[in-house]
Amino acid sequence: MNALWFVVGLLTVIAGAEVMVRGGAEVAARLGISPIIIGLTVVSIGTSMPELAVGVVSAADGSGALAVGNIAGTNVVNILLILGLSALLVPLALAMRTIRFELPMMAVAALLFWGLAADGNLSRLDGGILVTAAVGYTAAVIWSARRESRAIAAEFASEFAPEPVATTTEVRRRTATHVAMTVGGIVVVVIGADWLVDGAVGMARQFGVTDALIGLTVVAIGTSAPELVTTVMTTLRGDRDIAIGNLIGSSIYNILLILGITCLVPAGGLALTEGLVRIDIPVMVVVGLACIPIFLSGRRVSRMEGGMMVAAYLGYLAFVLSTQT
C-alpha cells in the first residue's frame, strides 16, 4: 500500500505540475510578460513545484530529512542524469548568458546551501536568507533577460508566446481557463505530494532505511520528471537555450526558493542527518562545480560528456544505496 500511494502521489504531482506550468505560462504571456522571462522564471519555478509541495508537506509532518534529501538528490539528478541524457540525444551548445550568469549562480547557491547546513540544522533564519537570495536572483534574471540577444529571445518567443485569439470574449474565456489550470494544478500538486510523502515515509519505515535516503533516490528521481520531460522535449525540438536554461534555473530555484520556503514551515527548522551534512550535500556541491569545466570546454556538452555524466549519476546512485542501506 505504501508503494501504491507513492506511485499514485507521484503521478498526481507530475500531472498537476504540467497543468500548472502550461496555465501559468499562458497567463503570464497574457499579462504582457516577455516569453524569455516566462521561460527563465515562471517555467523554472513551475517545474520545481513538486519539490516545493513535497518539501512543505514533509517539513509539516516532521520529515525534514526527506525534504532536504529531495532537494540535494533532485539537483544531482537534474545536472548529471537529465542534462546528460539530453546531451546524449543532441550535443548541447551553451549560450554566453548560461556561462556568465547561470553557472556562477548555481555554484553560489550550492555553496550557500552547504554553508547554512554545516551546523546540522536549517533554521527559519536560514530559510529567510535563501528566499531573499531567490528574490535577488529573479530580479537579476529579469534584468539580464532584457539584454539578451534577438536570436535567443526569438527562441523563447516561439515556445512561450500566447496563442492568437480573434475576439475579446475569446481572450477572456481562454484567460479564465488558464487561470483555472494554474490554480487547479497547484491544488493537485499539493494533494499528490501528501500522498507521495505518506507513501515514501511508509516505505522508509517498512524497509528500515532513512527518510533522507528515500528523498535522495526515489523521491528525487520522481519529482524531477517535469524537468526531464521539459528538457528532453525542448532539446528534440532544437530549443537548446530553453532546455539548459530551464534545467539550471530549476536547480537554482530548488535551493534558494523551494528549500527556503520549506525551512520556514517548522518552528524548530529542519534537522539534518549526518549523512546529508557530510556526504550528500557536499556531493551536490561537487557536481555543480564539476559541471563548470565541462560547460566551458568548447561551450558545449558533447555526447561523450553526456554519457560520462549519466555514468557518474549511476555510480553515485550505487554508492548511496550501498552506504545507506
Would strands 92-93 and 270-271 be described as parallel, antiparallel, or unpaired? unpaired
What is the tally of structural domains in the chain? 1
User: Whole-angstrom Cα distance, residue 210 to residue 50?
Assistant: 21
User: How many Å apart are CA 247 and CA 306, to the nearest integer?
Assistant: 14
Q: Which of 90, 106, 103 is nearest to 295 (CA)?
A: 103
* DSSP sequence for 97-134: HIIIIIHHHHHHHHHHHHHHHTTSEE-HHHHHHHHHHH
User: What are 40's three cell numbers?
Assistant: 527563465
Q: What per-residue confidence (pLDDT) applies to 134?
A: 95
Residue 141 has a pLDDT of: 85
Task: Supply the pLDDT for residue 95.
Answer: 66
Q: Tens digits of per-residue pLDDT, 267-289?
A: 888 888 888 898 889 999 998 88
Q: What is this structure's pTM?
A: 0.84
pLDDT at 27: 80
What are the phi and psi torsion angles at 276 (to 5°)? -65, -45
Cβ atoms of 89 and 228 within 8 Å: the answer is no
- CA 137/CA 75 separation, integer angstroms: 17
Mean pLDDT across the stretch 287-306? Answer: 79
Find the domain containing 304 and state its range: 2-323
Task: Look at the block and give the residue holding cell 549560450.
Answer: 95
- C-alpha–C-alpha distance, residues 324 and 280, integer Å: 11
Whether the pLDDT of residue 149 is over 70: the answer is no
Summarised one tens digit per residue, pLDDT across range 198-254 is 888 787 777 777 778 888 888 888 778 777 777 777 777 666 667 777 788 888 999
20 versus 257: the higher-pLDDT residue is 257
pLDDT for 52 beyond 70: yes
Distances (CA, A) of 41 to 171, 271, 302: 24, 30, 27
Q: Residue 204 belongs to a domain with what CATH number?
A: 1.20.1420.30
Average pLDDT of the segment spanning 288-295: 80
Q: How confident is the model at residue 166 (pLDDT cuts 50, 70, 90)?
A: low
| Packed helices 49-60 and 225-236: angle between N→C axes, nearest 10 degrees | 170
Q: Say yes or no to pLDDT of 264 above 80.
A: yes
